[in-house]
Copies of this chain bind each other. A is one copy, B any other.
């Protein structure tokens, strides 16, 4: 995979964790932020951890989005819609956007173990409504703990990938499988993201109750169903 991954809203925990892991895997990463200087600082901190060979840069979100045709959206849900509208001119047709966002009730001051109802069914389906035509949305990485991603341990979690575009599914599966011990599994249509997103709220509730960094594994399928490095 030669194209860079723009991590939109990438200076938060989820974005930084994915940037770290993908940079370690040799992917080229562009961290996007409202503030270009903050994005560059974030890129520097990733380079410091990964080593000088890390292909990582930082840009303002629109510039990051315009620089490539592969994007990961990692802003908190409450900021997603406005940001997507702002970035509309920056997305090229044929681009793929990996949506990692989850409509936690925390977005409106509620609990992180509860969900908001999104009219379209899920954050990912809302995103699909807001990107320009010709941009494929794929939902993935919602259940992977940001704390674990930002550490050095292997990631004991499966990534369920949902999209209406098999090409976008394939790209997200390959990117998931680059992270040590993550297994990716094709979760079918984008509409299934409404369930995968909710699993995050369940895991946050378990984290609070049982003091840990919860993840999930899907059992019961042939080894060939799961993709891993």
Contacts and interface: CB of A to CB of B under 8 A. Distances in A.
Interface of A: 113, 115, 145, 148, 156-157, 160, 185-188, 192, 194-196, 198-199, 201-203, 205-207, 209-222, 225
A195 B201 contact: yes
Nearest to A191: B114
A200 B225 CA distance: 18
Interface majority SS on A: helix, strand, loop or mixed?
A: mixed
B195 A210 contact: no
Given A196-B202, A202-B192, A216 B218 contact: yes
A141 to B, nearest CB: 15
- Copy number in the complex reads 2
A195 B186 contact: no
Given A196-B202, A210-B222, A214-B221, 6 more contacts: A113-B192, A157-B220, A195-B201, A199-B199, A210-B221, A215-B218
Given A212-B225, A225-B210, A225-B212, A202 B219 contact: no
A220 B215 contact: yes
Contacts of A225: 210, 212
A201 B206 CA distance: 21
